[in-house]
Every structure is written in structure tokens, then in C-alpha cells.
């Protein structure tokens, strides 16, 4: 089954648009419970097992593992999700972008080494840099469009032929890059007006929407401005607000409670 089909199926089955981001930070781990050389894996596995039935996807962030030399923990974590929670797709947040010959190695890293179902990519280098990802028709390609960070407008809002650059990205992806029907766009929860503008440009293409929780994005505005007419089309991602909801022995229960709260807050506006 393709990534987008399994995402849709999972989202319907669990009535959830929530994605749990997996961004382990050593200083924030509950050391009384998880410690030792495999603490990152054990922490993330506990979060995954506590939230899998609440979410439509997981999104591990590669730098949070690579900076710690924990690439093998990432590989095992994705394998664990696939084995223990089949049907929950994994989006590897890697934000890759390079010339085509190198990009093919990045695609292989994401999809073959780590076994991810989808990966985030940066469109700045143009279509040939994303092509090795687009060619993997069964996998998802999640393309940065209007990112959640405060400085996102510095380049993404620059007017080109009278329209902001991020709108060109949205239109180009929808019209030209999505031949295999495997594209999504990243639009930050912190920019509801832009979310509505991108939705108006691309029809029902699904969006990955990070920026609720720790970054303060407004859930109601996200759903009102970003959802498709059937109340879907969104994968709303939250990392720190779920991962670090608790810091004691009950950290996994606290993460589950936070995820349920966020899922329900999203569903209230659908």
C-alpha cells in the first residue's frame, strides 16, 4: 500500500489527524526511568507504544538521533513501529535537498536504510534534487512550503512575479511534481493565513502541519484554514508537547494523555 493510502486509512480508523514527533533530547529524558547506552531508543519506544492508537503517523526527526550517534536507535525504532504497530506510517523528518546524484543517496538512506514511509525534503534546489524521492511512488515526499519558524518569511515570502515564493512552491508541486500522487506540503501551524492560501491553491493535497504545542500554533485556526471539505487533508504534528508532557516514572502515560488531548482538540473543529 502507498504511503498516502496507509496514512488516510490510519487517520480514518483512529479518527485522528495527530502525528507524534519523535525528537529525543538527552537533557529532557526521564533519567530515573530510562538510562544507559540505549536510553534514547527505550524512551522513544515507550512513547510510541503509549500513543500509537491515538495518532495517524509518527515523525522521527533525524538530527535528534544523528547528533547523538544514535542512528541505529532510529533504525530500530522505525522497525519497531512497523512490527508492533503495523499500519502507522513513519515520516522521517530529514529535510534533504542536494544535487540529484547525491539526493539519490539521501532517498536510499531514508527509505532503504531507515525504512521510512515518507521523508521531508527541501525544494530549494529544484525538481531534479527531489526527483529520486518522487520516483519512489509507494513512499511519501513531504515538501517544505511555508515553514513554521519565525524567520520563514525571509525567503519564502519574497515576491516572484507578484506572488510569494511559497505559493510558487505549492503550485509547482501540485501541478508538476505530483505525477505519482505521492506529495504532501509542509505548512506551519503558526501561519494560518498562509495555510488558507496554500489550501486554495492545491485542492485536496495533504499537508504536514508542525507548530502546535511548543511553538504555539492555534489548533482551531489550523483546522478552519487548512482542512479539506471532508475535515481531513491534515497531519498535525507535535513533538515536545507530547514527549516531555511528564518527566517522572509516568512519562509515557503523560505523553498519552497529552496526545489524546491534542487529538480531541483537533477533532473539535473538524
Residues at the contact surface with ligand OMP, assessed by CB under 6 A? 21, 23, 61, 93, 95, 120, 147-148, 186, 188, 210-211, 213-215, 237-240
Beta carbon of residue 194, minimum distance to ligand OMP (angstroms, whole number): 11
Closer Cβ to ligand OMP, 161 or 218, answer by number: 218
Rounded to a whole number of angstroms, the minimum distance from the CB of residue 213 to ligand OMP is 5
CB of 78 or CB of 186, closer to ligand OMP: 186
Half-sphere exposure of 8 (CA within 13 A, CB side): 16
Work out how close the CB of 121 gets to ligand OMP at its nearest, in angstroms, rounded to a whole number.
9
Report the C-alpha gap between 124 and 98 in whole angstroms: 9
> For residues 225 and 132, what is the distance between their CA atoms, to the nearest angstrom?
32
Q: Smallest gap, in angstroms, from Cβ of residue 63 to ligand OMP? A: 8
**Minimum distance, C-beta of residue 144 to ligand OMP, in the bound complex (Å):** 7
Tell me the C-alpha distance between 244 and 266, whole Å: 20
Of 143 and 252, nearer to ligand OMP (C-beta) is 143
Distance (Å) of CA 76 to CA 195, 219, 239: 34, 32, 19
| DSSP 8-class letter at 113 | I
Nearer to ligand OMP, 186 or 227 (CB): 186
115 contacts 75 by C-beta, under 8 angstroms:
yes
Nearer to ligand OMP, 83 or 220 (CB): 220
Place of cell 513513519: 90
Distance (Å, whole) CA 270 – CA 264:
10
What Å distances lie between residue 261 and 58, 82, 239, 264, CA to CA?
Answer: 17, 25, 14, 5
What is the distance between the alpha carbons of residues 199 and 117, in angstroms, rounded to a whole number?
24
Catalytic annotation, residues: 95
Amino acid at each position: 500500500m502507498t504511503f498516502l493510502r496507509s496514512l488516510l486509512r490510519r487517520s480514518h480508523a483512529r479518527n485522528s489527524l495527530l502525528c507524534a514527533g519523535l525528537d529525543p533530547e538527552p537533557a529532557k529524558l526521564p533519567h530515573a526511568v530510562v538510562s544507559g547506552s540505549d536510553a534514547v531508543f527505550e524512551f522513544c519506544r515507550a512513547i510510541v507504544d503509549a500513543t500509537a492508537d491515538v495518532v495517524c503517523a509518527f515523525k522521527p526527526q533525524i538530527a535528534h538521533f544523528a547528533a547523538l550517534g544514535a542512528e541505529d536507535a532510529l533504525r530500530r525504532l522505525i522497525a519497531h513501529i512497523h512490527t508492533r504497530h503495523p499500519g502507522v506510517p513513519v515520516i522521517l523528518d530529514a529535510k534533504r535537498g542536494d544535487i540529484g546524484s547525491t539526493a539519490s543517496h539521501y532517498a536510499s538512506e531514508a527509505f532503504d536504510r531507515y525504512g521510512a514511509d515518507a521523508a521531508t525534503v527541501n525544494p530549494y534546489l529544484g525538481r531534479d534534487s527531489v526527483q529520486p524521492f518522487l520516483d519512489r511512488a509507494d513512499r511519501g515526499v513531504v515538501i517544505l512550503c511555508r515553514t513554521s519558524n519565525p524567520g520563514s518569511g525571509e525567503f519564502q515570502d519574497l515576491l516572484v512575479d507578484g506572488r510569494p515564493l511559497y505559493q510558487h512552491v505549492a503550485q509547482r508541486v501540485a501541478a508538476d511534481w505530483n505525477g505519482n500522487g505521492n506529495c504532501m506540503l509542509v505548512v506551519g501551524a503558526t501561519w494560518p493565513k498562509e495555510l488558507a492560501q496554500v489550501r486554495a491553491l492545491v485542492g485536496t493535497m495533504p499537508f504536514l502541519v508542525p507548530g502546535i504545542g511548543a511553538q504555539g500554533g492555534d489548533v482551531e485556526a489550523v483546522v478552519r484554514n487548512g482542512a479539506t471539505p471532508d475535515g481531513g487533508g491534515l497531519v498535525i504534528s507535535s513533538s515536545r508537547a507530547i514527549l516531555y508532557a511528564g518527566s517522572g516514572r509516568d512519562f509515557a502515560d503523560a505523553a498519552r494523555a497529552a496526545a489524546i488531548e491534542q487529538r480531541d482538540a483537533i477533532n473539535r473543529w473538524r
